[in-house]
Amino acid sequence: MLVREFLRQKGISKAALTDIKFRGGAITVNGEHVTVRHKLCQGDEIVVSFPPETRSEGMEPEDIALDVRYEDEAVLVINKAPYMSTIPSREHPTGSVANALLYHYDKQGSGNTVHIVTRLDRDTSGLMLIAKNRFVHHILSEQQKVKAIRRTYEALVHGRLQGEGTICAPIARKADSIIERTVHEDGQYAVTHYRVLKEYVHCSRVELELETGRTHQIRVHMSYIGHPLLGDDLYGGMRTLISRQALHSKQLTFVHPISGQELTFTAPFPADMIRVIKEAE
């Protein structure tokens, strides 16, 4: 088998091989530099060195604490606080997870750049998966395509919702907005599964799993069935009990891109959602 074929089987993309060739990476077999056309023999030891990664211009490291739930040379799992953007934006140019990650990497002396695998809205709290290099990001992106990365959310929604169900409704960008989404027949296929954990007088605690990953999917779908998230004033929720959408990414499961081991992590409710639950009981 040629080196090229072997590495493609191991998840190294054609683009990554091109980068290795032209941007300073290397491939060695038994300590000798080779090209992708080298023919491998049984027992050969192959080592791939990826070229240095470049960081986005204008994104600066910031000393912001991260709640790290797991970290190794390949991946990072954090429990994101609410009111924290995943990446900088025009409205919130600083204070993002990306800024914090750059500082975290610099402190370790690694020089890594930002590779977000599972994003969260600014006001949504909970678990996020981050790759530490492009190779790992590619493998995890392939897992996402086959739904091998599973995320479970909990939300507090308006009204008394009962039982469990599946919402299958396409989501599109709202015609007069660059932010808001809506259910529309011309939208992208979107499926959300929900299960009611507990009913209160004026709201319900709901567990949700995404079969697809559309922008604002949970928020749009719950509003669509008449039970918008508490605090989600963009989609019909009221901010009398909480000042953000009451949505938390509580569990994350994925296959480690190097070891192949399935890993599961959980994160407890943040303080503001705990307070709402206590007041509702």
CA distance 169 to 131: 31
CA distance 162 to 57: 49
At residue 180's C-alpha, the angle toward residues 266 and 191, to 5°, is 50
CA distance 60 to 186: 39
CA distance 79 to 265: 10
Find the catalytic residue in 19, 106, 121, 176: 121
- State the amino acid at position 160 in one-letter form: R
Q: Would you tell me the crossing angle of helices 14-22 and 134-145 to the nearest 10 degrees? A: 170
121 carries an active-site annotation: yes
Confirm if 146 and 257 have CB atoms less than 8 A apart. no
DSSP 109: T
- Active-site residue list: 121
